[in-house]
Amino acid sequence: MAKLQQLADLVGGEVSGDAEIEIGQVAPIDKAQAGDITFVANPKYLPQLKSCQASAVILSPGIDVSGQNLLICANPYLAFAKILTFLQVSPRPVKGIMPGALVSESAVVDPAATIYPGCVIGERVTIGSGTTLYPGVAVYADVTIGEDCVVHANVVIREGCHLHDRVILQPAAVIGSDGFGFAPDGAKYYKIPQVGVVVLEDDVEIGANTSIDRAALGVTLIRRGTKIDNLVQIGHNVEVGEDCILVSQSGIAGSSKVGNHCTFGGQAAIAGHLTIGDNVMIGGRGGATGNVAPNQILSGLPLMPHKKWLRATMTLPKLPEMRKDMQQMQKRLDELEALLKEK
Amino acid sequence: MAKLQQLADLVGGEVSGDAEIEIGQVAPIDKAQAGDITFVANPKYLPQLKSCQASAVILSPGIDVSGQNLLICANPYLAFAKILTFLQVSPRPVKGIMPGALVSESAVVDPAATIYPGCVIGERVTIGSGTTLYPGVAVYADVTIGEDCVVHANVVIREGCHLHDRVILQPAAVIGSDGFGFAPDGAKYYKIPQVGVVVLEDDVEIGANTSIDRAALGVTLIRRGTKIDNLVQIGHNVEVGEDCILVSQSGIAGSSKVGNHCTFGGQAAIAGHLTIGDNVMIGGRGGATGNVAPNQILSGLPLMPHKKWLRATMTLPKLPEMRKDMQQMQKRLDELEALLKEK
Amino acid sequence: MAKLQQLADLVGGEVSGDAEIEIGQVAPIDKAQAGDITFVANPKYLPQLKSCQASAVILSPGIDVSGQNLLICANPYLAFAKILTFLQVSPRPVKGIMPGALVSESAVVDPAATIYPGCVIGERVTIGSGTTLYPGVAVYADVTIGEDCVVHANVVIREGCHLHDRVILQPAAVIGSDGFGFAPDGAKYYKIPQVGVVVLEDDVEIGANTSIDRAALGVTLIRRGTKIDNLVQIGHNVEVGEDCILVSQSGIAGSSKVGNHCTFGGQAAIAGHLTIGDNVMIGGRGGATGNVAPNQILSGLPLMPHKKWLRATMTLPKLPEMRKDMQQMQKRLDELEALLKEK
């Protein structure tokens, strides 16, 4: 519970209307009741405000809305996130090593960490202050986990991998599985040992059932602030830059390097041994088969500028018709040529 | 073991031949032996019946097969499923809370439920009669699980999610992982807390390694009877209607609403914030980038009527040839035009 | 640590230079220091050798490199893998059934196997000599696991499945989940019990978060030597031949049969009930919708010869332009025809 002025101070915004009104929680515009605050990040929802019961609305400056208490700020979506965090997220209680957690004697767990039952912590592991491991997390030997990390249930972190601070792993994510490397030996394949590790830098988040393979030699590296969704595949020796967004079911094959601030849509794919520049956006199901220069918005397989791809795919359903038209045109050409020969 | 007449009564069919013959198990047509019952759902397999050793055959009415004991019924595939269930599926024994299961004191587990070793059950959880949790299931606080559910090993159900009755979760499915929501804050991303839940209604089945994200606010909802295959991604705030079929590796992005009785093929994708009507079939790897009206069979990216897509994709390999043909036609046009100018 | 001559003997190669030099570890060409051995499998990296600090280089015969100690052999990549294994992979210590592992009384675990804490081993399971199960592995009743297998943390192996020898399962892989089989019963679906099993033959490797469904009746079979990457879906009753390579996020739908020595790229898909011949390569995101004859390199959806696909996809971005060109050509034809009529 907070007064509207208090929330405005939190997000660096200004109040228009009753600054003293009490706000209990955040609610979407179509469900908000008295005591709630809602937000409009997309102007197309503005008409819904008329019938909205919320006690206050988070809005961008310069929009004329009468009869509502407003919290006006430059980035309403960010303000919404911060207010939601403030009002509705409780700090995780520190519970220490709970009964039923199996911690190796040589592991060092900070007293302000929480290890739930069913976790198994290997030899020489270190776990920092404020970090929580939910039930069933398996941490192999020589792993280091920093401060204020959240590792959800049934995550696996294999030997020697490193998590820096404030890393979040959703349930059943796998960090440090063997890379997919085999040397052909006649018809059979010989397994190439994968003796490298994975490093997840500060503020990285990894989705549920996502796999990040350890390097064959060296490091698979996810840099600071990058967010990876569910069911994503990161191959061995990949490097992903800072503040990237990798949407669900996308994949990056072995040894590719991705720049900073890239965004890959759902089911997108990057082939192996490529370099993707900074600020590259690849649309859903786009596929990179060659290096990509920075600062582009691309889609398709092969990749092309997104707008070109939109036009190209619009043409796809017309292909059979185009083929028929061409056959007709060829007939007409044949006839014209015959006619001209006669003359 | 059952007599053929007993099986006919079970599925509402009729016997032609020896109604007293003993049937031990179900077998495919190419492997059935004496004592087995087999089935023919697809007429193309009828010729194989001649050499089939089965003691009886499940068939549709109106097919003339001599010299075999027949169980005739309207839906042989459904009859096969029911007879297989009757003959070969034993009820799960009730074992209560087994040693090695870690159940919070405030959790309420029905005495007729089974909790295998290695499960960790959080605070205020309730688990209904006849439900089985296999080893390594992690159930966070405030979850409710109904009656006669089957939760396979290493599933994770996060805080506050609700499973109604007869829900089946295959191994390592994740229910209630955080939705993928971040607000840009300059170059960095600020995590939007995901404070909603997931509700799985009666008779829902979720595949292995599938992730169902919790809502940001509110509920991610899978309605009664819907079946979701392995490695599927369901984003936050998605709603899927009743009796849908989502095949493996498909994905639905955040906030999309899917109607009743839809079927999505393998690797199909639905972009975010869309509405898909009832009775929509989307073929394997189809991709919805806009709303879809009900009662359609669609394929491709962009989606088009399935038959049109079949024709369009058949044209794809001919594209380079079409391009050459066009260049030739342009030459011929140039020549004709030149010729006509001369005259 | 080993002398260069010893490594040459190990891989059947020859030394050129100082055979007595001591090698400590393998390193990539751009990071190798004194005491390291590196390798050049791809000639494009040869120029980097000049500035390389490695004590020795693994090379193919017939390449002229002066001033370096060389280990010359026919297959440098294979030699690299074998030397890496020799120098840097320690044997897994045998630890027996560790405290915190929950093993059913009727299970038979070889004394030379290792079962980590948090594993739950069901009734009548047998586990062979030299096999390691990492924490949190759930093994249902009647499973057999052969010798020298490695089962990583949080893997699930469901009832009755069989692993032969030297099988490797990466973390959170699921073996024997129910196949996705439902019989329509009016608008609803009736679950077809999946009473078959999965068999993984010798030297099979399965990736992290990959799901292999059990057969409805009979066996889902992965034959000797096949390697399956992360996040792959194998449907019920599938059979995959020997020495196949299935790259990440690919999928094979129910009842399809794949020959020996096939390679499927990332996100590739095989529809159900198909037969794929021996030695078929399908490129990344290729999709088989019909049977495929042996000995082909294919890509695309629909599949076409890989080179044809490369040309076809290069044409895709030009489609809108082609369509415009056609409209122009039609105009020109109209004009020519009008002109000729006049004459």
* Per-residue pLDDT, C308: 96
Final residue in a domain of this structure, among A29, A54, A88: A88
Q: Is the peptide bond before B302 cis (omega within 30 degrees of 0)?
A: yes
Q: Would residue B338 count as lying in a domain?
A: no
Q: Is the peptide bond before C43 cis (omega within 30 degrees of 0)?
A: no
* Per-residue pLDDT in tens (0 to 9) along chain A, 343 residues: 999 999 999 999 999 999 999 999 999 998 999 999 999 888 888 888 888 999 999 999 988 788 899 999 999 999 999 999 999 999 999 999 999 999 999 999 999 999 999 999 999 999 999 999 999 999 999 999 999 999 999 999 999 999 999 999 999 999 999 999 999 999 899 999 999 999 999 999 999 999 999 999 999 999 999 999 999 999 999 999 999 999 999 999 999 999 999 999 999 999 999 999 999 999 999 999 999 999 999 999 999 999 999 999 999 999 999 999 999 999 999 988 888 887 7
* Per-residue pLDDT, C201: 98
Catalytic member of A236, A261, A273, A306: A236
> What CATH number should be reported for the domain holding residue C203?
2.160.10.10
Contact of A74 with chain B, judged by CB distance below 8 Å, is answered with no
Above 80 in pLDDT, residue C29?
Answer: yes
| Interface chains of chain B (3 or more CB pairs under 8 Å) | A, C
Higher pLDDT, residue A54 or C45: A54
Chain B contact probe: residue of A95, A316, A333, A336 with most B CBs at under 10 A: A316
Nearest residue, CB atoms, A170 vs list B178, B195, B301: B178
* Per-residue pLDDT, C63: 85
Inter-chain touch C247–A180, beta carbons under 8 Å: yes
Q: Would residue B334 count as lying in a domain?
A: no
Contact of C313 with chain A, judged by CB distance below 8 Å, is answered with yes
Final residue in a domain of this structure, among A88, A108, A142: A88
Between the alpha carbon of residue A166 and those of residues A16, A126, A169, A262, the distances in Å are: 36, 15, 10, 21
Q: Which residues of B touch C235 (CB under 8 A)?
A: 248
Chain B contact probe: residue of A83, A209, A341 with most B CBs at under 10 A: A209
| C142 in the same domain as C29 | no
3-state secondary structure of A180: coil
| Active site (catalytic) residues of B | 236
| Interface chains of chain A (3 or more CB pairs under 8 Å) | B, C
| Average pLDDT over every residue of B45-64 | 89
Q: What is the DSSP letter of C330?
A: H
Q: What is the DSSP letter of A193?
A: P
> What CATH number should be reported for the domain holding residue C38?
3.40.1390.10
| B181 in the same domain as B125 | yes
Contact of B182 with chain A, judged by CB distance below 8 Å, is answered with yes
B275-324 pLDDT, tens digit each: 999 999 999 999 999 999 999 999 999 999 999 999 999 999 999 999 99
Q: What share of chain C is helix, strand, coil (3-state, %, to 5)?
A: 20, 30, 50
Q: What is the DSSP letter of C30?
A: T
Contact of C102 with chain B, judged by CB distance below 8 Å, is answered with yes
**CB-based contacts of A75: which residues, under 8 Å, 6+ apart?**
B183, B184, B185
* Per-residue pLDDT, A9: 97
* Per-residue pLDDT, A50: 85
Give me the domain span that covers residue A210: 96-307
Between the alpha carbon of residue B297 and those of residues A285, B260, B284, the distances in Å are: 21, 14, 11
Q: Would residue B317 count as lying in a domain?
A: no
Contact of B120 with chain A, judged by CB distance below 8 Å, is answered with yes
DSSP β-ladder status, B14-16 and B70-72: antiparallel
Q: Would residue A326 count as lying in a domain?
A: no
Query: Measured between CA atoms, how close is A153 to chain B, in angstroms?
Result: 6
Final residue in a domain of this structure, among B49, B65, B88: B88
Q: Which residues of B touch C318 (CB under 8 A)?
A: 323
| A228 in the same domain as A151 | yes
Q: Would residue A337 count as lying in a domain?
A: no
| Interface chains of chain C (3 or more CB pairs under 8 Å) | A, B
Above 90 in pLDDT, residue B190?
Answer: yes
| A105 in the same domain as A84 | no
C146-168 pLDDT, tens digit each: 999 999 999 999 999 999 999 99
Q: Is the dihedral angle over the CA atoms A275, A279, A280, A283 positive or is it negative?
A: positive
Above 80 in pLDDT, residue B343?
Answer: no
Judged by average pLDDT, the poorest of A321-335, C121-135, C199-213, C229-243 is A321-335
Above 90 in pLDDT, residue B339?
Answer: no
For residue B18 the two structure tokens come to 């020896």
- Asked if residues B89 and B4 have their Cβ atoms less than 8 Å apart, the reply is no
| C101 in the same domain as C25 | no
In chain B, residues 226-245 whose CB comes closer than 8 Å to chain A: 231, 233, 235
Q: Would residue C331 count as lying in a domain?
A: no
Q: Would residue C336 count as lying in a domain?
A: no
Closest to B196 measured CA to CA, from B126, B142, B137, B256: B142
Confidence of residue C339 (pLDDT cuts 50, 70, 90): confident
For residue C268 the two structure tokens come to 């590739």
A236 given a catalytic annotation: yes
Query: Measured between CA atoms, how close is A62 to chain B, in angstroms?
Result: 21
| B79 in the same domain as B17 | yes
Half-sphere exposure (Cβ direction) of C230: Cα atoms closer than 13 Å: 32
Report d(CA B119, CA C116) in Å as an integer.
16
| B125 in the same domain as B12 | no
| C111 in the same domain as C48 | no
* Per-residue pLDDT, B256: 98
Q: Would residue C266 count as lying in a domain?
A: yes
- Asked if residues B298 and B268 have their Cβ atoms less than 8 Å apart, the reply is no
Above 90 in pLDDT, residue C301?
Answer: yes
| B66 in the same domain as B22 | yes
Q: Which amino acid is at C61?
A: P
- Asked if residues C231 and A177 have their Cβ atoms less than 8 Å apart, the reply is no
C49-71 pLDDT, tens digit each: 888 999 999 999 988 788 899 99
Report d(CA C198, CA A110) in Å as an integer.
43
Inter-chain touch A172–B156, beta carbons under 8 Å: yes
Split into its structural domains, chain A has a count of 2
| A104 in the same domain as A21 | no
Q: Is the dihedral angle over the CA atoms B141, A102, A111, A168 positive or is it negative?
A: negative
| A151 in the same domain as A229 | yes
Closest to A102 measured CA to CA, from B127, B139, C153, C145: C153
Contact of B188 with chain C, judged by CB distance below 8 Å, is answered with no
* Per-residue pLDDT, B47: 87
| C79 in the same domain as C119 | no
Read off φ and ψ for residue B315, nearest 5 degrees: -80, -25
Query: Measured between CA atoms, how close is C41 to chain B, in angstroms?
Result: 34
- Asked if residues C227 and A180 have their Cβ atoms less than 8 Å apart, the reply is yes
Q: Which residues of B touch C181 (CB under 8 A)?
A: 81
